Amino acid sequence: MINTLRLGNRSKNQAVDQKAQFFKINLTTVWLLLLSQVFNIAMVAQELSFWMLATIFLCLAWRVLLIRQPSSKPQRFIFLLLTISGCIAIAITSRQLGLLLAMLHLLCFSYALKALELNSRKDFYQLVVLGLFILATSLIFKQSLLFTGVLALIIVFNFALLLHYFSSAETVSQTLTRCGKMLLQSLPLALVLFVVFPRLAPFWQVPLANSAKTGLSDNVTPGDIANLARSNELAFRVTFNDEKPLYSQLYWRALVLEQYNGTSWLRTKEKKRRAWLDAENSQQYTPQVSGPSLNYQVITQPSFRRWLFGLDIAVVNPQTTAQSVIIERPDFTLQSKDIISQTLSYQVNSFLEAPLDITLTREMKERNLQYPLGSNPRLELEAARLRQLYADNNDLVQAVLGQFRQQQYFYTLKPPTLVENSLDQFYFDTKTGFCVHYASAFTYLMRAAGIPARMVTGYMGGEYNPEGNYYSIYQYEAHAWTEIWLQGFGWKRIDPTAAVDPERVESGFSQQLINEQSSLSDNFFSLSNYKNSKWLNALRLKLSAMDYQWTKWVIGYSSKQQIELLSRWFGQMLPWKTGLLIGLAFVVVMISLWLLQQQKVPVKRLSPWLKLYQKALSLLIGKEVEKPKAMSVSDFVVTVNRSLPNIARNFTLLSDCFIQLEYQNLTEQQQKTQIKAMQIQLKAIKKQI
């Protein structure tokens, strides 16, 4: 029994070794595979850690070495050691990366390692499928028009790799052309399916990616928002349905920070708990508003956070097309029930003239007067001095703003570092800072003077795009301001930045700030860095307008929009109507492709003996024996005799018949005899294989 098992295992191993020996891909296909791996990894490279990119580079470099020196293949224990080390490193860093990025790292790591053990056709197929899966994963992080276009080209390249493996006689350009044509031919059916096929909710929740969080945080220190000035990333877009507000009215409210611990401003724990309860119970706070309103649509980018944006006072339109429940908070901010992991569109009405909290509860008053005593003693003394001089709160506020205007205060994106984020040091010594420096110091000063105050963060302004009639708000436009509560008026916005740099609030960044932002930008290739170039800026606006339409009509195409569109065209949509439309679309596309095929130049019909010979070659391909196009029939017989000795005699006879039929001038009767002989040998080969 033991000997039988050993013989069985030995025969299996020999079969595997023989299969690996027969698996061969030509040099061009190998280089195409390597390039496809580079392109696929590049689409998610921004989400990968430096050590993972270095590991992938090492594996790909080793793959290049294998092309030149096949004997340099890593030994099994080295391969196993590399695999285990990579998995341990991913496990150790998974808490920092988050579940989503940890899974992405594991996927890319296996994709790079798989190229080092390319032993059979199955390995080749697995490698191609892994690459396509990585491309699909990249859409979790970016869905812009430009990114999707590049992604489509790389998908064509991946399918061209697969096609070139089976059609190695074609040139690379011919293979790419064929794949491109097939992709274009599939677009009509894809378009019909996009419009008609029911848009189902995802069956799972995309896990949170820690490093993917962008934009404002609910924990702000004086230097944080200045760091956002380095980013040219888009935060959200806005289209006003009626008249557009003045630039100075574009204060996009996001977070209200009422707690100060001496170094940072935070949302209160009570606010966080209440926001979570409201989100779970879907309870809505309804603000009391009146007067004229502005109606607009906001399309926000994925931020992997919950907060949304709106002008004061923002009320979500109940008719809105939203992919997530939006909660209106008692502090007049908007919040999504779910993490914003994909583009979200919502309609808002804003009442710019409506007051915020005419009455103030004792709890809110106490919360917005608290500050750590002794954390900034000089500011506390300054507040006491100002209170002695000005009994009226409005007069005190104007006195502080007057100091900002008249004294040597400067507004910059590159503020000096403060010792432990000291507001005293900023207000009395450096006098140079960004919006959050001025808002922090002003809010602290108001509280110390007995005026309820809180800090609000969001975005200020926006870039108007005349090509698409909408505003783009970027991360570098992040802003912070103060709200103070006045008797009979409610919460009033006070922006100290307006006293230091009025141009920032009235029309946007000054030329000095634009130059600073360009020098600080973390994306050298972004066209936003080249606004001073007239033609580059015009190109940027046109591309941005195209991307906006893509986001609005394709990425933002929801199930509600689908139902409304189809109901307008076909009346009430029933399941049988949907199925009928999809079936008709499929039939129409297939008939169209068939008609196009008929218009092509007819291909010369193959001879009966050539068809029989090709069938024999197809059987051999299943055994990992493939005839190169340049190899003669006689030479290929030698290869088959060496690789598959059990069918050597039958294949030799079949090949001899084929050579006579193809190259000799036989009579009709002789041809029939030879064809019949080929058929007999082909049947014998089928049985033996």
| Predicted local confidence at residue 274, as pLDDT | 47
With CA atoms as reference, report the closest residue to 456 among 339, 328, 307, 277: 307
- Full strand arrangement of the beta sheet holding 453-460: 251-257, 453-460, 478-486, 490-494
Name the percent of the chain lying above pLDDT 90: 27
Assess whether 334 and 273 both reside in one domain. yes
Higher pLDDT, 284 or 613: 613
| Predicted local confidence at residue 226, as pLDDT | 62
| Catalytic sites, residue numbers | 435, 479, 495
Q: Which of 169, 201, 232 is the last residue of a domain?
A: 169
Residue 442 has pLDDT above 90, yes or no: yes
Higher pLDDT, 401 or 11: 401
Phi and psi at residue 688, in whole multiples of 5°? -75, -30
| Predicted local confidence at residue 17, as pLDDT | 44
- Per-residue pLDDT, averaged over 196-215, amounts to 60
- Per-residue pLDDT, averaged over 343-367, amounts to 88
Distance, CA of 205 to CA of 165 (rounded, Å): 37
Residue 12 has pLDDT above 50, yes or no: no
Q: Which two tokens stand for residue 298?
A: 């906001």
Residue 198 has pLDDT above 90, yes or no: no
Assess whether 221 and 131 both reside in one domain. no
Q: Judge contact between 265 and 375, C-beta under 8 A.
A: no
Assess whether 423 and 314 both reside in one domain. yes
Assess whether 83 and 152 both reside in one domain. yes
| Predicted local confidence at residue 593, as pLDDT | 66
Q: Which two tokens stand for residue 330?
A: 């008692």
Q: Which helix (H) or strand (E) holds 347?
A: strand 344-350
Residue 501 has pLDDT above 80, yes or no: yes
Is 175 part of any domain? no
Distance, CA of 214 to CA of 224 (rounded, Å): 12
Radius of gyration of the chain (CA): 34
Using pLDDT thresholds of 50, 70 and 90, give the confidence band for residue 500: very high
Is 9 part of any domain? yes
The sign of the CA dihedral 164, 169, 175, 178 is negative
Segment 72-115, tens digit of pLDDT? 777 788 888 888 888 898 999 888 888 888 899 999 999 998 88
Assess whether 163 and 15 both reside in one domain. yes
Lowest mean pLDDT among 20-29, 52-61, 497-506: 20-29
Assess whether 492 and 627 both reside in one domain. no
Distance, CA of 562 to CA of 477 (rounded, Å): 34
Between the CA of residue 413 and those of 229, 482, 502, 522, what are the distances in Å? 7, 19, 15, 14
Q: Which of 507, 538, 569 is the last residue of a domain?
A: 538
Is 26 part of any domain? yes
Assess whether 117 and 261 both reside in one domain. no
Q: Tell which phi-psi region holds residue 575, choosing left (phi > 0), alpha (psi between -120 and 50) or beta.
A: alpha
Is 568 part of any domain? no
Distance, CA of 114 to CA of 127 (rounded, Å): 7
- Per-residue pLDDT, averaged over 617-643, amounts to 85
Distance, CA of 2 to CA of 589 (rounded, Å): 60
Segment 638-680, tens digit of pLDDT? 888 888 888 888 989 999 999 888 888 888 888 889 999 999 9
Is 201 part of any domain? no
Distance, CA of 96 to CA of 211 (rounded, Å): 8
| Predicted local confidence at residue 452, as pLDDT | 95
Q: Which of 538, 554, 575 is the last residue of a domain?
A: 538
Assess whether 217 and 165 both reside in one domain. no
b/e per residue 169-185 (b: at least 16 CB within 10 A): ebebeebbebbbeeeee
| Predicted local confidence at residue 670, as pLDDT | 87
Q: Judge contact between 333 and 254, C-beta under 8 A.
A: yes
Distance, CA of 509 to CA of 414 (rounded, Å): 14
Is 105 part of any domain? yes
Between the CA of residue 348 and those of 88, 304, 333, 463, 655, what are the distances in Å? 48, 21, 12, 19, 77
- Is pTM beyond 0.75? Reply is no
Assess whether 62 and 129 both reside in one domain. yes
Distance, CA of 353 to CA of 634 (rounded, Å): 91
Segment 445-493, tens digit of pLDDT? 999 999 999 999 999 999 999 988 999 999 888 899 999 999 888 999 9
Higher pLDDT, 245 or 594: 245
- Rounded to an integer, what is the distance from CA 149 to the centroid of its chain? 13
Distance, CA of 534 to CA of 523 (rounded, Å): 20
Lowest mean pLDDT among 452-466, 516-530, 545-559: 516-530
Assess whether 82 and 145 both reside in one domain. yes
Using pLDDT thresholds of 50, 70 and 90, give the confidence band for residue 397: very high
Task: Locate the DSSP E strands across 241-340.
Answer: 251-257, 259-260, 265-266, 294-300, 314-316, 326-328, 334-336
| Predicted local confidence at residue 657, as pLDDT | 92
Lowest mean pLDDT among 92-106, 207-221, 327-341, 446-460: 207-221
Is 349 part of any domain? yes
| Predicted local confidence at residue 13, as pLDDT | 46
| Predicted local confidence at residue 530, as pLDDT | 60
Residue 278 has pLDDT above 90, yes or no: no
Q: Judge contact between 344 and 333, C-beta under 8 A.
A: no
- Long-range CB contacts (within 8 A, 24+) of 270-275: 271/329, 271/331, 272/218, 274/330, 275/327, 275/329, 275/335
| Predicted local confidence at residue 604, as pLDDT | 54
Distance, CA of 251 to CA of 493 (rounded, Å): 10
Pairing mode, if any, of strands 478-486 and 294-300?
Answer: unpaired
Assess whether 429 and 522 both reside in one domain. yes
**Structural domain that includes position 466:** 213-538
Supply the DSSP symbol for 310. Answer: B
Assess whether 271 and 407 both reside in one domain. yes
- Long-range CB contacts (within 8 A, 24+) of 410-416: 410/500, 411/435, 411/438, 411/497, 411/500, 411/501, 411/504, 411/513, 412/513, 412/516, 413/226, 413/229, 413/513, 413/516, 413/517, 413/520, 414/226, 414/516, 414/520, 415/222, 415/223, 415/226
- Per-residue pLDDT, averaged over 228-236, amounts to 81
Is 193 part of any domain? no
| Predicted local confidence at residue 275, as pLDDT | 45
Domain count for the chain, please give it: 3
Residue 16 has pLDDT above 70, yes or no: no
